[in-house]
């Protein structure tokens, strides 16, 4: 197959590229980086370009693609999110029309906004809460509209918190460090959720969305689930450290989190309190029933690899 991938040098994109190369597919990648600085498989063709600029490079990049995976997004710099996540998607849609057979959109469960309890399915209301979530939802809506107009077929995949040893997001490493230093404590009643998913599972889900005809026209959530207590126990065992014993009332920690929101560099914020006390679960039922998806790398196994990377970082 001929594959085109945006965000191909990112955390998820790199793994996706490797999977398609291993399968012998011809892979086009779009990047702003110099190809000389990339360690690339011979089946990869590099197109140097910027999603935010409409150009002939975009058309050449997607030309004749059986599957286009749109994995590129700005997740850190708020001032660039509109430019990359929205305008970039619009430019890619223009290039894809007549060039791409099937578009797979990597989105996020963030488009549902903050959900702190209950089962979250694809039928949940959309309620983005910040600039990243809002621009991702607009991006989703634009490709949905283009697919409805017959420009290509489409599948949208919305993972929860994706993690792996090579991730750039330091939040989980900070959590591991807190356990390592004996600083971690639980918040609220037992049974809070750790809604994480290993990057290998997300790549597997993306490929199923791209290659299984039953996925066309669908939106899928994908996640894994473990209690925060089990999650922390795996980390503590991996570090050879005692299991944390302290637990503080939720109401007290919410007040402390609000105070932390106002103080720069305060480790406890409302966001972290919510993350450690959240009891929602993102259902995989639809993607499992439709296209046979299974979590091949359980979160319990993947977190052990992350602990090893914390212990033995790659320079």
The yes-or-no verdict on residue 34 having pLDDT over 70 is: no
pLDDT at residue 121, rounded to an integer: 98
Percentage of residues of the chain with pLDDT beyond 90: 87
Q: Are 126 and 177 in contact (CB under 8 A)?
A: no
Q: Are 279 and 203 in contact (CB under 8 A)?
A: no
The contacts of residue 51 (CB under 8 Å, 6+ apart) are 6, 30, 58, 72, 84, 87, 88, 89, 91, 92
Mean pLDDT, range 142-171, rounded to an integer: 94
The yes-or-no verdict on residue 307 having pLDDT over 70 is: yes
pLDDT at residue 169, rounded to an integer: 80
pLDDT band at 168 (very low <50, low <70, confident <90, very high): confident
Read off the pTM: 0.95
Strand segments, DSSP code E, in 151-261 are: 153-159, 161-163, 186-187, 193-194, 196-198, 219-222, 226-227, 247-248
The yes-or-no verdict on residue 315 having pLDDT over 70 is: no
Residue 140 belongs to domain spanning:
2-165+195-224+281-293
Q: Are 224 and 196 in contact (CB under 8 A)?
A: yes
Mean pLDDT, range 222-246, rounded to an integer: 97
How many structural domains comprise the chain? 1
How confident is the model over 249-276, as pLDDT tens digits? Answer: 999 999 999 999 998 778 889 999 999 9
Q: Has residue 256 been placed in a domain?
A: no
pLDDT band at 53 (very low <50, low <70, confident <90, very high): confident
Q: Has residue 141 been placed in a domain?
A: yes
pLDDT band at 38 (very low <50, low <70, confident <90, very high): low
Mean pLDDT, range 165-193, rounded to an integer: 93
pLDDT at residue 166, rounded to an integer: 86
What pairs with residue 227 in β-bridges? 193
Read off the CATH number of the domain in which 43 is found.
3.40.50.720
Q: Has residue 40 been placed in a domain?
A: yes
Mean pLDDT, range 141-148, rounded to an integer: 98
How confident is the model over 54-93, as pLDDT tens digits? Answer: 889 999 999 999 999 999 999 999 999 999 999 999 999 9
Radius of gyration of the chain (CA): 20
Mean pLDDT, range 45-52, rounded to an integer: 92
Q: Are 3 and 66 in contact (CB under 8 A)?
A: yes
Average pLDDT of the chain is: 94
Q: Which two tokens stand for residue 187?
A: 């918040």
pLDDT at residue 55, rounded to an integer: 86
Q: Has residue 272 been placed in a domain?
A: no
Q: Has residue 156 been placed in a domain?
A: yes
Query: 227-233: which pairs have CB atoms within 8 A and are 24 or more residues apart?
Result: 227/190, 227/191, 227/192, 227/193, 227/194, 228/186, 228/192, 228/193, 228/194, 228/276, 229/186, 229/190, 229/191, 229/192, 230/194, 230/300, 231/194, 231/196, 231/299, 231/303, 232/179, 232/184, 232/186
Q: Are 224 and 298 in contact (CB under 8 A)?
A: yes
pLDDT at residue 206, rounded to an integer: 98
Mean pLDDT, range 95-112, rounded to an integer: 97
N-to-C CA span, the chain: 36
pLDDT at residue 265, rounded to an integer: 78
Give 50 or 145, the one with higher predicted confidence: 145
Mean pLDDT, range 5-26, rounded to an integer: 94
Q: Has residue 240 been placed in a domain?
A: no
pLDDT at residue 314, rounded to an integer: 79
What is the rounded distance in angstroms from the CA atom of residue 152 to the CA atom of residue 80? Answer: 27
Q: Has residue 181 been placed in a domain?
A: no
Q: Has residue 78 been placed in a domain?
A: yes
The yes-or-no verdict on residue 298 having pLDDT over 70 is: yes
């Amino acid at each position: 197959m001929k594959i085109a991938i945006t965000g191909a040098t990112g955390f998820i994109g790199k793994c996706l590229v490797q999977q398609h190369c291993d399968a012998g597919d011809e892979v086009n990648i779009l990047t702003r980086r110099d190809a000389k600085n990339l360690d690339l498989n011979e089946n990869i063709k590099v197109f140097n370009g910027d999603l935010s600029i409409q150009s002939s490079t975009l058309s050449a990049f997607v030309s004749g693609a059986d599957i286009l995976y749109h994995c590129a997004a700005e997740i850190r710099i708020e001032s660039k999110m509109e430019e990359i996540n929205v305008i970039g998607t619009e430019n890619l849609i223009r290039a894809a029309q007549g060039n791409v057979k099937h578009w797979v959109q990597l989105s996020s469960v963030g488009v549902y906004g903050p959900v702190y309890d209950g089962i979250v399915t694809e039928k949940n209301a959309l309620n983005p809460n910040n600039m990243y979530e809002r621009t991702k939802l607009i991006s989703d809506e634009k490709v949905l509209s283009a697919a409805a107009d017959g420009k290509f077929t489409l599948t949208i995949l919305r993972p929860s918190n994706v993690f792996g040893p090579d991730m750039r997001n330091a939040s989980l490493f900070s959590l591991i460090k807190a356990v390592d230093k004996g600083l971690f404590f639980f918040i609220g009643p037992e049974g809070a959720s750790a809604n994480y998913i290993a990057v290998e599972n997300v790549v597997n889900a993306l490929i199923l969305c791209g290659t299984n005809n039953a996925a066309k026209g669908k939106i899928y959530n994908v996640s894994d689930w473990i209690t925060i207590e089990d999650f922390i126990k795996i980390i503590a065992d991996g570090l050879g450290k005692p299991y944390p014993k302290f637990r503080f009332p939720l109401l007290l920690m919410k007040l402390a989190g609000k105070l932390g929101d106002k103080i720069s560099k305060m480790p406890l914020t409302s966001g972290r309190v919510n993350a450690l006390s959240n009891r929602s679960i993102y259902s995989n039922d639809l993607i499992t029933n439709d296209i046979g998806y299974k979590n091949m790398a359980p979160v319990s196994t993947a977190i052990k690899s992350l602990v090893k990377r914390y212990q033995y970082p790659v320079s």
